[in-house]
Amino acid sequence: MDSSRLIAQEQAQLKQAVADAVSMATKLGADQAEVAVSRQTGISVNTRMTEVENIEFNHDGALGISVYVDGRKGNSSTSDISQESIARAVQAAIEIAKHTSQDPFSGLADPELLERAPQDLDLFHPASLDPDEGLSIAKACEEIALNADSRIVNSDGASYSSHLGIKVYGNSHDYVQSYLTSRHSLSCVLIAQQGDEMQRDYSYTMARNSADLWQPEQVAKEAIERSVARLGARKIDTCSCPVLFSADSAVSLFGHLVNAISGGSLYRQSSFLLERLNTQVFPPWFNISERPHILGGLASSPYDAEGVKTQDRDIILNGDLNSYLLTSYSGRKLGMPTTGHAGGIHNWFVNSNHGDLQDMLRQLGTGLYVTELMGQGVNAVSGDYSRGAAGFWVENGEIAFPVHEVTIASNLKDMFMGIQAVGSDVDLRSSLRTGSVLIDNMKVAGS
């Protein structure tokens, strides 16, 4: 029996287990109950210097239960979906709820917000789970890389993974829904040497459909280019200058935005963007849109982790913060409706207003082009930003030499308002899609 049919059978079993758990909870006295399962099946293989290093098969996941009794919440989980184990888990959640504090903001999402007819978003593309096939792909990537350039002297390994997932959610609003997912990836990490100097970099590809992955040759080519380009890296003098973030590095900038406008950070008063809804936080030309229903999207979802229907949103509109990211609980705490963001964001698109990378380098003029960020020096409350970085020094729009061991610093509020341009060189491997981002001025601490 093929993997698609097996996973469909397991999906039906998990949906029944979720329905049974909800029914048991209400019969045992829960006012409300919700149950979620996320189960994953797949392989991960690793090679190093074209030799097999690791093969992993996994089939895991748990059934999580939340019950609400007189405003008190109890949680439990089980990896065993037999009737006896589910019953024990439900009973444990009921007992826990008796000993927790009442919380008037807890409870299920409002029933009218639930997605009861989810559309097929083309998220399930099973591939062979044969480890030999995965190993041949990883080995091919390493072999190409090690033979293409004499400066590539070693490899930190290549990895191939293929996973199929089942997501099921149900609650006592007579609701049970599920959908299937897949995710495949290939990555390679290389070490380049010039004299006594060694530098390390990588490349990767990821997709819902394995047919959409880059070929091993393309992954190897990018890993070689990135590793070799770092040879001859220097320190630079401390200065203030414009900074261009590469597309993959720029993703982290907007990750800080996600955290700052998420409900938990807001009601805990731990965000540098408190009370900034409907106010300007970016330049007037700047927009971020969210599109949850992109077919095959890496973060596409018909509903969130509470069953709430996802919908298109303009997160940033003409520079203004147009929406928070709220769950039912955080929304009630803030006196606002949920935005369908239990579990995270859904396919963000940062609009571009400039050309490709070469155009962005010319726009930068003289300054720092960042291709790697290190450390976690970001204060979520104040917005103060300080991180280690590596990349290239640019003079008159041309890359002059690679740079390492520098620290870049500013404040995220100033950085967001100081964005001068977003390139068209969008990294399609992320669920948060952006091109390179040019910021007008940052402190660069070097030697």
278 and 312 part of one domain: yes
Alpha-carbon distance of 216 to 203, in angstroms, equals 10
**Would you state the pLDDT for residue 116?**
96
Task: Identify the domain boundary among 176, 201, 228.
Answer: 228
47 and 80 part of one domain: yes
Res 446 pLDDT > 90? no
Task: Identify the domain boundary among 181, 209, 228.
Answer: 228
Domain that holds residue 284: 233-447
**Would you state the pLDDT for residue 5?**
76
271 and 308 part of one domain: yes
**Would you state the pLDDT for residue 1?**
44
- Give which of 127, 116, 115, 117 is closest to 181, Cα–Cα: 127
| Mean pLDDT along residues 63-69 | 97
**Would you state the pLDDT for residue 2?**
62
DSSP state letter for 117? S
**Would you state the pLDDT for residue 135?**
95
| Mean pLDDT along residues 394-406 | 96
Alpha-carbon distance of 447 to 445, in angstroms, equals 7
315 and 242 part of one domain: yes
* Span 346-387, pLDDT tens digits: 999 999 999 999 999 999 999 999 999 998 889 999 999 999
**Would you state the pLDDT for residue 202?**
95
168 and 291 part of one domain: no
| Mean pLDDT along residues 255-279 | 97
205 and 259 part of one domain: no
Share of the chain above pLDDT 90, in %: 95
The count of domains in the chain is 2
**Would you state the pLDDT for residue 3?**
65
- Under the banding of pLDDT at 50, 70 and 90, the label for residue 10 is very high
DSSP states along 221-286: HHHHHHHHHTTT-B----EEEEEEE-HHHHHHHHHHHHHHTBHHHHHTT--TTTT-TTSB-S-TT-
- Under the banding of pLDDT at 50, 70 and 90, the label for residue 54 is very high
- Under the banding of pLDDT at 50, 70 and 90, the label for residue 7 is confident
Res 4 pLDDT > 80? no
**Would you state the pLDDT for residue 303?**
98
**Would you state the pLDDT for residue 326?**
98
Share of the chain above pLDDT 70, in %: 99
Measured between alpha carbons, how far apart are the two ends of the chain, in Å? 62
179 and 255 part of one domain: no
